[in-house]
């Protein structure tokens, strides 16, 4: 299997039993690559407004963008500059800059008390781009709703109840990341790429839109371009889902490389759907069989996140690559 399929989430939610089953089967088949395309009900106007404000932010002078840095966030809130994040398999930093945000949870919530470094608030550059906070938090909520609904398809596909992921991601540390990939003509060396080969940390990632090509997926037949249908959302799987499914659904390995036919820079906004940090990622029984014995030991989601953040060079006081 090397193709990425296009599925209809709305058919799963509103269709007949036959249509629902067809969506579940197509998702399971496509996720052999770690990727699938889906229909959605996100507002094009909302996407236009969010991308416009983000382009305005990334066009600011470096000193102004630096005011949005959140010390100690390890790339999980605020601005992260160029040549910082580094794929775990590489010693060459990616040629990209990022703006990261999540949502607040109530003061005094047990999660906030136990994991204060996980719940840092949005920290969006309201002073630099007035109105951006309201727009980007609305974006976060709408995409999280889409991810919650899509996880119900995956839950059914692995033999769990449709609501299996619902509580797991409620008040989770889901992170939205806007990424600006500057023109490769400006890169400091020929060994840099926009984003080297990697898998995401989380359960699933949603990419509603990018301004140009560049995303490529690793398959058994080599690298293929991820090109969703018009108005489609790209969904890809992460390390945490691979753990929960005992490898039955692999993490989607991908990279972002400049397309010579589309010179210049690139913008994208991805949302990483995370469970609560106290979630124990233990393979579900339905994914453990004689043919597929248990591969992963249980691990707390927050601990796995810490390990991967170190591997990708985002722990500020312990940079793997300087």
User: Parallel, antiparallel, or unpaired for β 6-7 and 35-38?
Assistant: parallel
User: What domain range includes position 289?
Assistant: 6-311
DSSP state of 186: G
CATH code at position 179 = 2.60.120.330
DSSP state of 238: B
**CB neighbours of residue 20 within 10 Å:** 17
Query: What digits encode the pLDDT tens for the residues 179-211?
Result: 999 999 999 988 999 999 999 999 999 999 999
- Give domain status of residue 14, yes or no: yes
- 154, 202 in Cβ contact below 8 A? no
- Give domain status of residue 144, yes or no: yes
CA 271 to chain centre: 4
Q: Nearest to residue 181, comparing CAs of 120, 270, 103, 121?
A: 270
In degrees, to the nearest 5, what angle opens at C-alpha 136 toward C-alphas 125 and 151? 140
Q: Residue 316: what pLDDT?
A: 83
Q: Residue 269: what pLDDT?
A: 97
Q: Residue 155: what pLDDT?
A: 98
**CB neighbours of residue 130 within 10 Å:** 10
Q: Nearest to residue 98, comparing CAs of 87, 89, 85?
A: 85
Residue with tokens 């800059």: 97
3-state secondary structure of 46: helix
Q: Residue 2: what pLDDT?
A: 59
Give the chain's domain count.
1
Beta strands in 151-296 (DSSP E): 175-181, 195-198, 204-210, 215-219, 222-225, 233-237, 254-256, 266-273, 280-281
- Give domain status of residue 318, yes or no: no
Residue with tokens 């840092």: 120
- Give domain status of residue 214, yes or no: yes
- Give domain status of residue 67, yes or no: yes
Query: What digits encode the pLDDT tens for the residues 258-301?
Result: 988 888 999 999 999 999 999 999 999 999 999 999 999 999 99
Q: Residue 121: what pLDDT?
A: 85
Q: Nearest to residue 26, comparing CAs of 115, 156, 199?
A: 156
Tell me how far apart the terminal alpha carbons of the chain are, to the nearest angstrom: 39
- Give domain status of residue 319, yes or no: no
Residues of the chain with pLDDT under 50: 1
Handedness of CA 274, 279, 281, 286 (dihedral sign): negative
- Give domain status of residue 321, yes or no: no
- Give domain status of residue 51, yes or no: yes
Q: Residue 8: what pLDDT?
A: 96
Alpha helices in 37-131 (DSSP H): 44-58, 62-66, 110-114
């Amino acid at each position: 299997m090397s193709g990425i399929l296009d599925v209809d989430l709305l058919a799963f939610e509103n269709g007949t039993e036959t249509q629902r089953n067809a969506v579940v089967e197509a998702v399971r088949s496509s996720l052999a690559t770690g990727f699938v395309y889906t229909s959605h009900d996100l507002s094009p106007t909302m996407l236009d407004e969010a991308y416009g404000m983000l382009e305005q932010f990334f066009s600011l002078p470096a000193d102004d963008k630096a005011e949005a840095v959140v010390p100690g966030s390890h790339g999980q809130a605020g601005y992260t500059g160029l040549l910082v994040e580094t794929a775990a398999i590489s010693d060459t930093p990616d040629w990209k800059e990022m703006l990261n945000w999540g949502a607040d949870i109530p003061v005094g919530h047990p999660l906030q008390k136990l994991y204060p470094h996980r719940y840092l608030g949005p920290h969006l550059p309201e002073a630099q781009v007035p109105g951006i906070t309201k727009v980007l938090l609305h974006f976060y909520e709408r995409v999280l709703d889409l991810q919650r609904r899509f996880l119900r398809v995956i839950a059914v596909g692995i033999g769990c109840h449709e609501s299996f992921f619902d509580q797991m991601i409620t008040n989770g540390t889901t992170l939205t990341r806007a990424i600006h990939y500057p023109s490769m003509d400006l890169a400091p060396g020929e060994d840099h790429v926009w984003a080297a080969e990697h898998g995401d940390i989380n359960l699933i990632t949603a990419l509603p839109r990018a301004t140009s090509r560049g995303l490529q997926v690793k398959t058994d037949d080599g690298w293929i371009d991820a090109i969703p249908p018009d108005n489609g959302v790209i969904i890809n799987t992460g390390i945490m889902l691979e753990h929960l499914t005992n490898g039955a659904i692999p993490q989607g390995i991908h990279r972002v490389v400049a397309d010579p036919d589309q010179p210049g820079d690139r913008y994208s906004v991805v949302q990483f759907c995370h469970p609560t940090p106290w979630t124990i990622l233990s393979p579900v029984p339905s994914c453990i069989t004689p043919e597929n014995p248990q591969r992963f030991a249980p691990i707390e989601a927050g601990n796995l996140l810490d390990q991967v953040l170190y591997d990708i060079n985002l722990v500020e006081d312990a940079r793997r690559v300087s």
